[in-house]
Amino acid sequence: MLSHVLKEKVDYVVTNLTDALDAGLSVLDRDLNIIWANKTLSHILNLKYDPIGKKCHEVYKCECQTLSTGKKQCSEISLITEKGERRYVKNISIPIGGDNDNFTHLLKLTLDITEQREKVHRLSLLRKLAELMQGSMQIDRLLHLILTCVTAG
């Protein structure tokens, strides 16, 4: 009875800690079935269903080679939310458990990098604008780029 109560408390603490992170976390078995996930994962990936029990490719929309290679793998995907907004997500897959390259599970960390991507895009537009302003004054191209920067930011 005591071990059951202790397990519930540990589960409660782990769940609260991982949900407080601004990152999606999941654990997959060797067959790439999701056996555990925090709530943030569903929010970041815009899931309308519980990911537990689903295959990796169904939820993450990408192929995972981490268990076969034994190496950390990073990938980026883009998705459209129900509001029609584009969101960029970075997935980091890390093999865990076992020894001698005999990994038993996979940990996936999912980060929303949309804001970072948008800042990079804005900076590249500003760089183009600065290049145009330093070069010959082609007023049509300059005005077009200024309008593009203003509407993008």
Block means of pLDDT (10 residues each) for the chain, 153 residues, are 62 68 89 91 88 90 74 86 86 82 86 90 82 68 75 66
What is the predicted pLDDT for the residue at 46? 85
- The pTM of the full predicted model, rounded to 2 decimals, is 0.70
What is the predicted pLDDT for the residue at 6? 62
What is the predicted pLDDT for the residue at 153? 56
What is the predicted pLDDT for the residue at 144? 77
| Nearest CA among 71, 75, 111 for reference residue 95 | 71
